[in-house]
Amino acid sequence: MLGKFCFAAPQNPAGDARAPVSLTTSIDAGDRSLLTARDAFERRNFKTLDAARAEFRGRLAGHPLAGYVEYWWLMANLGQASSFAATNAADFSQFLSAQPDGPLTDSLRREWLRALGKAERWDTFAAQVSKLQSDDADIACLNWKYRLATGDREAVGEARAFWNAARQTPEACDEVFAQINAEKALTTDSKWSRVRRLLEANLLAEARRSAPLIDKLPAAFERTTASIGIDPRRYLEKEKLNSKSQSSIELYLFAVTRAARSDAAKTAALIESRAAGLPPSDLGYAWAQVGLYGAMQHEPAALSWFERAGPLNDTQAAWKARAALRAGDWRAVRAAIEAMSAAEKRDAAWRYWLARAEAAQGNAAAAQQLRESLVRENNFYGLLAAEESGPVTPPAWRGWRPSAQELDAMRQRPGIVRALALYRLEMKNEGLREWQHAIRNLDDQQLLAAAEVARVANVPDRAINTAERTLMVHDFSQRFPMPHRADLQAQAKAQGLDEAWVYGLIRQESRFMADAKSRVGATGLMQLMPATAKWAAKQVGMSGYTPQRTGDIAVNLALGSFYLRHVLDGLGHPVLATAAYNAGPGRARRWQSSQALEGAIYAESIPFNETRDYVKKVMANAWFYAHQAGGTQISLKQMIGTVPGRQDNQGNSSLVSALDKSISIPALTPASTTAR
């Protein structure tokens, strides 16, 4: 048993005069009628929905969510009969006029336009389509279909650009693409380019829908893509490449991409032995793909494969840079970043690593200029850049606070009223949409007022996310709250974990929403999967455990902290344990190098986008919490330290204390060095 199992009743943070207080959990008759209407909408119970509509147009017309009932009635009927879009145009127009700027407005207009377009009711469609505020591929293609029919030549160019973007498209686009192809607006090269990029992105169905527009496409093309999808190596080993056939080349390159995803090294060997005659540009593409997946698999030869590649896209260049980081080749890091598009180079990661590359090559002025572009950014790389530029002053934790009048004004905003009403009724998706719409154009002080309103209403994720949007006026205590501190401290102490690290992880996992539940079933503050929670409960000897108890704050913190300690003991380093908490211990271990690796380089070279982002955010969060909780002067670079080589920690549990003394967690609190 690892550590003492400890319970404490949920408490507010000690000394926090601004502890959250839920507005109310009770619902009145109007709320109950609204929930009945929502249930009728979901069940397509039109009789009940009709009655609810009449009620909310009558005695409940003043309810803040009355518009939702009208929206549900329109959406339900729109799905029931295609003719409803045209025959009830007045009802749609009335709703959209009454709510010209709400989150439901664009949603309803989009579905109405989709129905009008499919019914070819072009007069009404044309009057509404310019008012749609969001991008929608289905509506765009219906609009091009209408405009092409009217002889609008600009529509040809717009549709061609959409084809060339090689995005996934709805079936409504097929007719448009066929028409502009009939008008000779699509070249053979553009058709093959789209198919290649769709196959590269694993959008097989989309590629098969696009390929028939290619003249003289072999009849077996679709069948062959299916067989390659099942066994790409067999195709590379058995099929003979015809370098004079574009179809043969594209199938070969698709097989290279699919095979490299599983084993880049074996695919590289197959290219060496069987790619004779492949045109140079296509051979360069093949090596770029092998380099890409080799870098993601942390193959030492990835850089050499990239050296044989042609021009790189942003994804390939990013992974060349990551491979170069793991190899310690700063010249290659710089070359890879310089090959990126201007937009990609602006990413904080690449500005930071380019600064490091410039410094490594003696270009101190260029390095400092890049660091200075980062130091005001409160993120992982902004903190690292600031530390390299000089002493870092932690933020003032008590920032700008709104007055009572400013809070009252914010609570009276219709969008805020609707959002909080939706959260109160457990309609979180709708509440999130309303909230995001309500804060779109707020200034910094208004954002902080909205954040405080959300905090008081016990919607901590909106409080944090809203406070993070400020540009000049900040309140870092809103960005990095410390709720449930007595419970969290007790569990962190029992397991020998650092409080700041646990807070940083929870902030990323759930934003302190105690009732958070992910789409895959993870629950509570620490987002425990059912099987993990059950295992942890058994390990600590919890009596009377049921899955429902995982949502309890004290139970969730106890089981989550126990599991985090277990992962840390198995891997020996907090960065590895953070990666493992998101992606699993096996993956975190596989991503280690054979030699010790700088923690930031390990984090940047994680092949899962979600986990890479997660680790960087958790560790940056931990830095803020460490400075807020204890006034420590520890740097982020000290916290992330050096990740040991793979052979250094397999099966060696004694490494935990040794690493703790030299790397990170104990530097935050002495508790983590306590022998257990």
DSSP 525-563: TTTB-HHHHHHHHHHTT-TT--GGGGGSHHHHHHHHHHH
- Checking if the pLDDT of 48 tops 90, the result is yes
Please indicate whether the domains covering 188-357 and 404-479 agree at the CATH topology level. Answer: no
Confidence of residue 20 (pLDDT cuts 50, 70, 90): low
Tens digits of per-residue pLDDT, 161-180?
999 999 999 999 999 999 99
The tokens for 407 are 């809070």
Q: Report the candidate in 457, 477, 494 with the shortest Cα–Cα distance to residue 13.
A: 477
Instruction: Give the model's pLDDT for residue 99.
Output: 86
Residue 511: CB partners within 8 Å, gap ≥ 6? 460, 461, 464, 465
Instruction: Compute the mean pLDDT over every residue in the chain, rounded to the nearest whole number.
Output: 91
Question: CB pairs under 8 A, 24+ apart, for 18-27?
Answer: 18/452, 18/455, 18/456, 19/483, 20/455, 20/456, 20/457, 20/458, 20/460, 20/483, 21/456, 21/458, 22/457, 22/458, 23/420, 23/424, 23/456, 23/457, 23/458, 24/424, 25/424, 27/424, 27/425
- Checking if the pLDDT of 443 tops 90, the result is yes
Residue 514: CB partners within 8 Å, gap ≥ 6? 524, 525, 551, 553, 556
The tokens for 181 are 């192809």
Instruction: Compute the distance between CA of residue 438 and CA of residue 104 in angstroms, rounded to an integer.
Output: 12
Please state which architecture CATH assigns to domain 404-479: Orthogonal Bundle (1.10)
Confidence of residue 7 (pLDDT cuts 50, 70, 90): very low
Residue 512: CB partners within 8 Å, gap ≥ 6? 460, 461, 464, 481, 483, 484, 506, 525
Instruction: Compute the distance between CA of residue 1 and CA of residue 35 in angstroms, rounded to an integer.
Output: 46
The tokens for 643 are 């990740």
The tokens for 551 are 């949502």
The tokens for 435 are 């909230």
Instruction: Decide: 500 and 490 in contact? Cβ < 8 Å.
Output: no
Instruction: Compute the distance between CA of residue 63 and CA of residue 644 in angstroms, rounded to an integer.
Output: 60
- Checking if the pLDDT of 391 tops 90, the result is no
- 517 - beta bridge partners? 523
Q: How many CB atoms lie within 10 A of CB 247?
A: 18
DSSP state of 395: P
For residue 56, which amino acid is it? F
Residue with the bigger pLDDT between 250 and 7: it is: 250
Q: How many CB atoms lie within 10 A of CB 483?
A: 22
- 642 - beta bridge partners? 598
Instruction: Compute the distance between CA of residue 542 and CA of residue 6 in angstroms, rounded to an integer.
Output: 10
- Checking if the pLDDT of 143 tops 50, the result is yes
Length of the chain as a residue count: 676
Q: Report the candidate in 619, 110, 594, 101 with the shortest Cα–Cα distance to residue 387.
A: 619
The tokens for 219 are 């009849």
Instruction: Decide: 63 and 56 in contact? Cβ < 8 Å.
Output: yes
- Strands 642-643, 597-598: pairing is antiparallel
What number is the average pLDDT over the span 83-96? 96
The tokens for 466 are 């809203």
Instruction: Decide: 105 and 99 in contact? Cβ < 8 Å.
Output: yes
**CATH number assigned to the domain covering 485-673:** 1.10.530.10
- Checking if the pLDDT of 288 tops 70, the result is yes
Instruction: Decide: 554 and 10 in contact? Cβ < 8 Å.
Output: yes
Instruction: Give the model's pLDDT for residue 18.
Output: 54
- Checking if the pLDDT of 13 tops 70, the result is no
Instruction: Give the model's pLDDT for residue 23.
Output: 45
The tokens for 477 are 């205590």
DSSP state of 6: -
- Checking if the pLDDT of 651 tops 60, the result is no
DSSP state of 13: P
The dihedrals phi and psi of 643, each to the nearest 5 degrees, come to: -80, 125
Q: Is 642 helix (H, G, I), strand (E, B) or coil?
A: strand
Residue in the block written with tokens 């044989």: 308
Domain range 188-357, its CATH number among 2.60.120.10, 2.60.130.10, 1.10.3720.10, 1.25.20.10: 1.25.20.10
Instruction: Compute the distance between CA of residue 350 and CA of residue 334 in angstroms, rounded to an integer.
Output: 9
Q: Report the candidate in 445, 456, 505 with the shortest Cα–Cα distance to residue 480.
A: 505
Flag the least confident range among 79-83, 105-109, 469-473, 580-584: 79-83
- Checking if the pLDDT of 24 tops 90, the result is no
Q: How many CB atoms lie within 10 A of CB 435?
A: 24
Look at the alpha carbons of 25, 31, 32, 35 in this order and tell me if their dihedral is positive or negative: negative
- How far CA 494 is from CA of 45, 404, 535, in Å, comes to 53, 40, 18
Look at the alpha carbons of 261, 265, 268, 270 in this order and tell me if their dihedral is positive or negative: negative
Instruction: Decide: 138 and 172 in contact? Cβ < 8 Å.
Output: yes
Q: Please report, for the chain, the start and end positions of each structural domain, with discontinuous segments joined by +.
A: 29-159, 188-357, 404-479, 485-673
Q: Above pLDDT 70, what percent of the chain?
A: 92
Flag the least confident range among 5-14, 73-82, 294-303: 5-14
Instruction: Give the model's pLDDT for residue 631.
Output: 67
Instruction: Compute the distance between CA of residue 259 and CA of residue 292 in angstroms, rounded to an integer.
Output: 12
The dihedrals phi and psi of 583, each to the nearest 5 degrees, come to: -115, -5
Q: To which H or E segment does residue 597 belong?
A: strand 597-598
Instruction: Give the model's pLDDT for residue 647.
Output: 74
For residue 47, which amino acid is it? K
Tens digits of per-residue pLDDT, 485-510?
999 999 999 999 999 999 999 999 99
Tens digits of per-residue pLDDT, 585-625?
999 999 999 999 999 999 999 999 999 999 999 999 999 99
Find how far residue 170's CA is from the centre of its chain.
23
- Checking if the pLDDT of 670 tops 50, the result is no
Instruction: Compute the distance between CA of residue 50 and CA of residue 40 in angstroms, rounded to an integer.
Output: 9
Instruction: Give the model's pLDDT for residue 276.
Output: 83
Instruction: Decide: 567 and 654 in contact? Cβ < 8 Å.
Output: no
Instruction: Decide: 651 and 600 in contact? Cβ < 8 Å.
Output: no
- 616 - beta bridge partners? none
Q: To which H or E segment does residue 598 belong?
A: strand 597-598
Instruction: Decide: 263 and 299 in contact? Cβ < 8 Å.
Output: no
Tens digits of per-residue pLDDT, 394-414?
898 889 999 999 999 999 999
Instruction: Compute the distance between CA of residue 257 and CA of residue 259 in angstroms, rounded to an integer.
Output: 6
Confidence of residue 666 (pLDDT cuts 50, 70, 90): very low
Look at the alpha carbons of 280, 286, 291, 294 in this order and tell me if their dihedral is positive or negative: negative
What number is the average pLDDT over the span 47-76? 97
